[in-house]
Structure 1
Amino acid sequence: MTHPYQVPQPPKRRTLRTVLIVVSVVVVLCCGGAGVGGFFLYKGVKGATDPARQAAESFVSHLEAGEPDAAYELLCGDTRGGYTREAFAQGVAKQPKIRGHKVDGVNVSSVNGRTSATVNMALTLDSGFTDRHTFMLVKEDGAWKVCGQPY
């Protein structure tokens, strides 16, 4: 015997679908947050290292162009104290001529209130040889200056 009334069935639960939607939203938000965070981290690091890189590249560009006086102006006070302008120009003249350069890495650090940087470069010399050189820089009066053994 059949009943004239059919007992209504409870609606199907879609728990799996709901869980998948929630998990998808969380994944999208996390990936977006990581992307935005990575972008700002990159911008922060680039902002900290770019001025030091530019100072070292400017120094090397002056040497490439045969402008030792302009390069001398980019030396820190301690290094300029060890070389007269003429002695620096003579020392540069005795070195192989730089024909090109490429920055391989920049590291900026601050220790005990003193900000310094190292800029690693591949210097292509007129002989065709590539010399790997690390330029030490310090911040003097708000500007990056090449220190130590300049070239």
Structure 2
Amino acid sequence: MLMGSEQGWSRPARRRRPMRTGLLLGGLGVGFCLIGVAGLAVWNVQVVMQANGPVRDTADGFFREVAAGDTDQAYERLCKEARGRWSAVGFGSWVRTPPQVSGYEITDVAISTLRGRPRATVTVRVTRDGGASEERKLPVIQENGKWRVCGDPF
């Protein structure tokens, strides 16, 4: 440079901090994942809490109809898979086979999700003609927006 000439102003070189940027982006990614997991957990809790009443109502209706001998209505509460195993007539004959169900008491309702689909198990104390009783696990699933008995209830 020549003496007496003015020097142009230049900005000093900035040090880049790739480590800080990487940590910030990584932290944001982890934060979004945690928010997603928390959202999924809240959704599962809502599904389980909202399903308790309808699941109990389904099991209660099913056993009330079975105990009253209304096998056609009870058959309508079965899931598609269970209706595929039994015809309405076959189900009715099976339910009427002694000793028949004369009473019941729902003792527990457990609801969970499997692959995002709600499932339930209702524990029922079934009383048969003659007074004998036994505890049974009644599987209940959600099918087309309705809770249905699915599996062998007896």
TM-score, normalised to structure 2's length?
0.66
**Which of 76-85 and 90-99 deviates more?**
90-99
Q: Select the residue among 119, 141, 149 that pairs with 1:146.
A: 149
Aligned twin of 1:54: 57
> Matches of residues 11-50 of structure 1 in structure 2 within 5 Å?
47-50=50-53
Q: For residues 1-150 of structure 1, what are the structure 2 equivalents within 5 Å? A: 47-150=50-153
Which residue of structure 2 aligns with residue 5 of structure 1? none
Tell me how far 1:46 sits from its aligned partner: 5.5
Amino acid at match of 1:145: R
2:56 alignment partner, SS class: helix
Residue-pair matches, total: 109
* RMSD of equivalent CA atoms: 1.8
Identity of aligned residues (%): 34
5+ residue gaps, structure 2, are 1-46
Shift in Å, 1:123: 1.0
Which consecutive residues of structure 1, in runs of 5 or more, have no partner in the other structure?
Answer: 1-43
Q: What is the DSSP-based 3-state SS (H/G/I as helix, E as strand, rest coil) of the residue aligned with 1:94?
A: coil
Cα displacement string for residues 43-90 of structure 1 (whole angstroms, at most 9, x for unaligned residues)? x96643111011011000000110111100000000000001111111
**CA–CA distance in 1 between the matches of 2:82 and 2:116?**
20
Alpha-carbon offset, residue 113 of structure 1: 1.9
Per the alignment, do residues 65 and 146 of structure 1 end up closer, same or farther by CA in structure 2, a change over 3 Å counting? same
Q: TM-score scaled to structure 1, two decimals?
A: 0.67
User: CA 1:46 to 1:130, structure 2 compared with 1: closer, same or farther past 3 Å?
Assistant: farther
